[in-house]
């Protein structure tokens, strides 16, 4: 539980670094007069694809984190019921 949420927190910091790196690539395509037009298009297409995939990964991580929280709550509820049943068995 703690490990995954901590990883997501660290990953979101990495997200800024990835976005910065992608912006550098775009900046290079805009500033470079020597870069052939087809290479510029390839770089821009690759950056766009990477952004989409990172967004998909971020959404998937968020969905998995929500699922983990739900499962943790269900496990805690089940444990509470189990402990109550154990207490009831010993008292009779």
Q: For the segment 78-87, what is each residue's pLDDT rounded down to a tens digit?
A: 999 999 999 9
Taking residues 68-77, report their average pLDDT.
96
User: Residues 4, 68: contact at Cβ < 8 Å?
Assistant: yes
Cα–Cα distance, 19 to 67 (Å, whole number)? 27
| pLDDT in the model for residue 9 | 54
Cα–Cα distance, 41 to 37 (Å, whole number)? 6
Q: CB burial class (10 A; 0-12, 13-18, 19+) of residue 52?
A: exposed
- Torsion from C-alpha of 81, 84, 90, 91, nearest 10 degrees: -140
**Lowest mean pLDDT, pick from 7-11, 18-22, 85-89:** 7-11
Indicate the average pLDDT of the chain.
Answer: 85
Judge whether residue 90 has pLDDT over 80: no
pTM: 0.65
Q: What is the pLDDT of residues 40-72, one digit of tens each?
A: 999 999 999 999 999 999 899 999 999 999 999
Q: What is the CA radius of gyration of the chain?
A: 24
């Amino acid at each position: 539980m703690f490990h995954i949420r901590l990883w997501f927190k660290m990953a979101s910091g990495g997200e800024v670094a990835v976005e910065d790196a992608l912006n550098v690539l775009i900046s290079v395509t805009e500033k470079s007069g020597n870069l052939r037009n087809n290479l510029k298009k390839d770089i821009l297409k690759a950056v766009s694809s990477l952004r989409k995939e990172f967004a998909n990964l971020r959404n998937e991580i968020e969905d998995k984190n929500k699922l983990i929280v739900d499962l943790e709550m269900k496990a805690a509820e089940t444990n509470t019921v189990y402990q109550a049943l154990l207490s009831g068995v010993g008292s009779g």
